[in-house]
Amino acid sequence: MQKDYPERKNIRLQKYDYNSNGAYFITICIKNGQMLLGTIEICPPVSNYVGTNCVRPLLSEIGTVIEKELIILSNAYESVSVEKYVIMPNHIHMIIMITNGGRTQFVPTISRIIKQFKGSITKKLGTSIWQPRFYDRIIRSKEEYLRIWQYIDENPARWTEDEYFV
């Protein structure tokens, strides 16, 4: 007896080589939107000077494991670096850069990088916290790169407006 399962849509850009040189904006979400990675902290003003307030992620133990793994990810492959990231309470945003410099060395695809990243954290935690899949955007220009960089920087301050805020 065959069951009818919903067919998954392929959300990757067709015929694109995901180990090509370039920058990729990645979002990885926690299963069921659980707030496992920490909270957003509003820092107290340091003085009466306007502009000294800040908003920043305050990482949980799991969030700290993820941050350490992001640092390891930048060193795992010579051609891969995490350029920018933010760990939010229930998701992660990052820019991953692939620069193989025309060498013939093995360059992993974005899917393989994320699979290994998630797998390593799952192994360290003893359980999977991840929503299946991830979201990616191929960054196509310097302007887009800078806009995404700013988005990542400002994401904690916009937390209550965020689509992942529950």
CATH number at residue 112: 3.30.70.1290
Which among 57, 81, 64, 82 has a CA at the least distance from the CA of 162?
Answer: 57
**Is 153 contained in some domain?**
yes
In a domain, 14, yes or no: no
Write down the pLDDT at residue 55.
83
Is 166 part of any domain? Answer: no
Q: How many domains does the chain fold into? A: 1
Q: What percent of the chain has pLDDT over 90?
A: 57
Q: Do the domain assignments include residue 2?
A: no
pLDDT at 51: 53
Q: Which residue positions in the chain have pLDDT lower than 70?
A: 1-20, 44-53, 101-105, 162-166
Residue 12: inside a domain, yes or no?
no
Nearest to 91 by CA among 14, 166, 22: 166
Euclidean distance between CA atoms 49 and 116, whole angstroms: 45
pLDDT of residue 160: 78
CB 25 within 8 A of CB 95: yes
- Determine the pLDDT at residue 165: 62
4 domain residue, yes or no:
no
Does residue 7 belong to any structural domain of this protein?
Answer: no
Q: Does the residue 15 lie in any domain?
A: no
Q: What angle do CA 14, 17, 128 make, to 5 degrees?
A: 85
How far apart CA 115 and CA 109 sit, in angstroms, is: 10
Task: List the one residue out of 33, 13, 17, 142 whose CA is nearest residue 89.
Answer: 33
Query: Residue 91: which domain range?
Result: 22-161
